[in-house]
Amino acid sequence: MTLHCATGNAGKLREFHALAANRNVNFEMLPEFSRLPPCEETGATFEQNAVLKAGYYSLHASGLLFADDSGLEVEALGGGPGVRSARFAGPRASDEANNRLLLERLRGVSDRRARFVCVIALARAGKVVRTFHGAVEGFILDEPRGANGFGYDPLFFYAPFGCSFGEASPECKLAVSHRGQALRAMLDFLGPGL
């Protein structure tokens, strides 16, 4: 089975492909993705943004398309940066800039609890079929650790692994991560054998 996806994020795309490698499914970027005006992510929640993106891009896809909205919710920041995770340090901010800003905001803060959240919306011809959720709990480190993953992964300490998502292997991260959970929930919904 082939499913279209819509993301400009290379890290997400890598994870989509890694998960597909073990399943009877093929994730393909929407061919028109880079030529379309980007979808404005004006939602107040991951769910709203995922729905906006899947609805918009699926108008340009044949068949089913999914979009992912995800980010980091830090307890001591009242759930921030949340939907602003990718642009925390400004529009088109680098992962490094976002990580640096997060460490600044948490300087001297002892409550380091945080969670990664992912919502995937599956849509066809502009209509959302269903959304799928994933979340994983961790702690924000004092400095980045590891070169794997992307985004806030090097700062996200996952206690069961005893290391950060930046240190974990891509396969093991995906086995427990917010995005892995949401992707597997979508595949389970689409049918057995996927």
b/e map 100-115, b = 16+ CB within 10 Å: bebeeebeeeeebebb
Our answer to whether residue 69 is catalytic in this structure is yes
Q: x/- site string to a copy of itself, residues 117 to 136, per CB under 8 A?
A: -------------------x
Specify the residue, 22 or 34, whose C-beta has the smaller distance to a copy of itself.
Answer: 22
- DSSP-derived secondary structure for 18-70: HHHHTTT-EEEE-TTGGGSPPPP---SSHHHHHHHHHHHHHTTSSSEEEEEEE
191 binds a copy of itself (CB under 8 A): no
CA angle at 171 for the pair 175 and 134, rounded to the nearest 5° = 30
160 binds a copy of itself (CB under 8 A): yes
Stretch that binds a copy of itself, among 34-42, 57-65, 97-105, 167-175 (CB under 8 A): 167-175
Catalytic residues: 69
Residues that bind a copy of itself (CB under 8 A): 136, 160-162, 168-169, 171-172, 175-176, 181, 184
